[in-house]
Structure 1
Amino acid sequence: MTKLAFTDLLAKLRLSESGDCLSDQRWEQVVRLARSSGLVARLALYAQRFGSFRPPESVAWTLQSAHSYWLAQQRIVQWELYELEKVCSFLGLPLIVLKGSAYCAADLHAGLGRVFNDIDILLPKSKLGEFKEALKWHGWYQLPLDRYDQHYYEHWMHELPPMRHIKRGTTLDVHHNIVPETCSLCPNAQLLLDAAVNIDGTAYWMLSPEDRLLHSATHLMLGGEFDNGLRDLTDIDLLLRQACDDDADFQRKLLARAAQLGLALPLFYALWACKALLHTPLSDSVLHELQSTAKLGRLRLKLMTAILLAALRPSHPLCDGLGVAVARWLLYLRSHWLKMPPQLLIPHLLRKAWLRLSNSEAH
């Protein structure tokens, strides 16, 4: 039954498949898994927009509630972007929106049912200090950090410490790159800024179609957290499908951009998982070329794909197990290994382990 519930959820997330043959009990299990992955609103939107399935009454209220929450979040995001654009305009900077906020602002398919906890934007690194000071005048403040974490953000991270609005409670992440500069796969941020495109009908900007997909893939593979991994994978699936519909040559352009930015490795794993789990329409030649560019051997490929398939299962008792926990732990270590050199990584992991141990003993 556990395996069947995950299979049922994947079937609903594959846009090329249809069917309403599930019992109420199996539908309830699908919704439980979707909730643990941040996908309930997306399921609701899939049913409404694409009509490939019709949920029974036993789960319809849950889906409708998630849909309503998503609509409310859309309004909040639009207002926050409007306010942030004022700050950027005052400083003569474009407001470049990232990830879920960008999908929402541009009304992309990847924005369907996409819920998120904060707003992400991208700025030139040289403008961060000036922008942070301007944010303070508009009601934003930095969330408190200890001395170590403050140093960690200032010297190693690709973003400012999270900021929150004093009245509205919205959280903002201000990036100057998409991965830490200490990362072995860190791209040239100026290339991302230069290729940004205007969001039609707005004063906002977002990454190019190729860079949006590369950012999503890199975030999935290097973020180290897989609680919402399946949701992020559906983002990539939707981004790729829409981009290919808009541009018949998109897959070739994506390969060229991945090679230019040095992101062929995370892109390969993300696209491989999309094809394996979501049946994303993707040419085998694209995967072969990415594998060659990333210099992936057969043994490494077999090991990583097995780990990835386990880690992408929802965080729920219907799917969780020792194999899932081990897979996520291995990917967590891998992400830190890629993001930090050993002389930084080892003290960092030891400190995090000590803090976890101290907190568990305190409770």
Structure 2
Amino acid sequence: MIPTPVIVRVLRDPQSVRSLALAEWDLLLRQARSANLLARLADLLLRHDLAGCAPEAAAMHLEGATVVAARHRVAVEWEISRIGQALDSAGLPLLLLKGAAYVAADLPPSHGRTFSDIDILVPKARINEAEAALMMHGWASSHHDAYDQRYYREWMHELPPMQHGKRMTVIDVHHAILPETAASKPDSAKLIASSVAVPGRPGIHVLQPVDMVIHSACHLFHEEELDKGLRDLTDLDALLRHFAGQPDFWPQLAQRAQELDLARPLYYALRYAMRLLHTPVPDAAIRAMAASGPPALLAPLMDALYGRALLPIHASCGDPFTGAARRSLFFRAHWLRMPPMLLVRHLAHKAAMAMKQEPENQP
């Protein structure tokens, strides 16, 4: 059993920082930085009036992370306006996903969040128009290998990532939230039809609350690389706490997950948010999702895997089985994305490419 990391203890109970020794502060910052949560930790302490508890050396790191996160937010706002302008030229609305949506709607997960790209969702029938409009405004595909182009355009749920020629910012243009080849096939048309306009932000839309939570769960529990797993789980925790006060949120959440064929990832999201972060979930919601969990014999294994892989990638947050847990979930994610023969072909291609590049990288 891995001892509860100090970052998890503080996320559960921010007041616990009052009793941290200097060595624990050092470990807290290291774990938070590894999990991409340093700026969120700084925001958490500020909101609970605990920033003054940080030793001077720790405070410097937290203040620096806050500055970086604020700069990220300004940059994201600018990119949102530029993407909106590009899509508007093609008569397309801007529907933001994940982090950019949190920023545009000023939702709690946006506080102290940093970004590597911006995700948008467009109807599949109009994805070529969206790509052309973005290209006219300076973005271009960042993947030029013929196999990668086919991989994205035929099998995946998005275009190859597009990077701006001057600002080097990256957009992921989605037409669905799971690959074409995945076993689960949530209807993107339903997501788009139920999206909501952001008040005071003409032309900008985000997913409705229940869909936003379900998409966040889907993204995390179909993800092959979980280096940001704890950060994404804190996104879910913040969304659930924020939307919990809305009438009928919890009954609608379970019903919508079934409708979108995404009940299993939502089950995992609620289970591990409760386990790791003590997210409050009503008993009725737990009962509504109980039948969506894995088979009884598989459940302990999933707990063992995610109980390790959702922790920061740091020596203090692992045990001898952590590496195997991460590798197992990596292969699970690919298994969920592709049928067996296509998966074998894809992994064989990637392995061949890695072997080909290895001699080139040697001195």
- Common topology (TM > 0.5): yes
For residue 31 of structure 1, what is the aligned residue in structure 2?
29
Letter in 2 for 1:88: L
CA contact 1:265–1:291 (8 Å) conserved in 2: no
Cα shift at 1:251: 1.3
For residue 326 of structure 1, what is the aligned residue in structure 2?
324
Structure 2 counterparts to residues 312-351 of structure 1, below 5 A: 312-351=310-349
SS at match of 1:172: strand
> 5+ residue gaps in structure 1?
none
Structure 2 counterparts to residues 1-363 of structure 1, below 5 A: 6-14=4-12, 18-51=16-49, 54-203=53-202, 204-245=204-245, 247-292=246-291, 294=292, 296-362=294-360, 363=362
Question: Number of aligned pairs?
Answer: 359
CA contact 1:141–1:164 (8 Å) conserved in 2: yes
* Alignment root-mean-square deviation, CA: 1.7
Cα shift at 1:321: 4.1
CA contact 2:14–2:48 (8 Å) conserved in 1: no
SS at match of 1:145: coil
CA contact 1:123–1:174 (8 Å) conserved in 2: yes
SS at match of 1:335: helix
Cα shift at 1:58: 2.2
**CA-to-partner distance for each residue in 1:101-156, whole Å, 9 max, x for gaps?**
11111110011111120011110011111111111111111113311111100100
Letter in 1 for 2:232: D
Identify if the C-alpha distance between structure 1 residues 350 and 284 changes in structure 2 by more than 3 Å, giving closer, same or farther: farther
* TM-score after normalising by structure 2: 0.94
Cα shift at 1:336: 1.0
- Alpha-carbon distance in structure 1 between the residues aligned to 2:227 and 2:359: 25
**CA-to-partner distance for each residue in 1:279-323, whole Å, 9 max, x for gaps?**
00012442332231x263211111111111011111122224431
Choose 42-51 or 351-360, whichever is displaced more.
351-360
Identify if the C-alpha distance between structure 1 residues 39 and 145 changes in structure 2 by more than 3 Å, giving closer, same or farther: same
- Alpha-carbon distance in structure 2 between the residues aligned to 1:328 and 1:356: 20
SS at match of 1:173: strand
* TM-score after normalising by structure 1: 0.94
- Alpha-carbon distance in structure 2 between the residues aligned to 1:52 and 1:179: 40
- Alpha-carbon distance in structure 2 between the residues aligned to 1:223 and 1:267: 14
- Alpha-carbon distance in structure 2 between the residues aligned to 1:329 and 1:284: 33
CA contact 1:15–1:52 (8 Å) conserved in 2: no
**CA-to-partner distance for each residue in 1:175-232, whole Å, 9 max, x for gaps?**
1111102111120000000010111110211011111111111111102110000000
Letter in 2 for 1:238: A
CA contact 2:96–2:119 (8 Å) conserved in 1: yes
Identify if the C-alpha distance between structure 1 residues 39 and 24 changes in structure 2 by more than 3 Å, giving closer, same or farther: same
- Alpha-carbon distance in structure 2 between the residues aligned to 1:15 and 1:202: 35
**CA-to-partner distance for each residue in 1:57-111, whole Å, 9 max, x for gaps?**
2210101101000101111111111111112222221100110111111110011
Letter in 2 for 1:236: L
CA contact 1:18–1:52 (8 Å) conserved in 2: no
SS at match of 1:322: coil
- Alpha-carbon distance in structure 2 between the residues aligned to 1:27 and 1:248: 40
- Alpha-carbon distance in structure 1 between the residues aligned to 2:178 and 2:54: 39
- Alpha-carbon distance in structure 1 between the residues aligned to 2:144 and 2:6: 42
- Alpha-carbon distance in structure 1 between the residues aligned to 2:321 and 2:15: 29
- Alpha-carbon distance in structure 1 between the residues aligned to 2:118 and 2:159: 13
CA contact 2:120–2:174 (8 Å) conserved in 1: yes
- Alpha-carbon distance in structure 1 between the residues aligned to 2:151 and 2:143: 13
SS at match of 1:20: helix
> 5+ residue gaps in structure 2?
none
Letter in 2 for 1:157: M
- Alpha-carbon distance in structure 2 between the residues aligned to 1:139 and 1:350: 34
Percent of pairs with identical residues: 41
- Alpha-carbon distance in structure 2 between the residues aligned to 1:94 and 1:17: 43
SS at match of 2:89: helix
- Alpha-carbon distance in structure 2 between the residues aligned to 1:15 and 1:25: 19
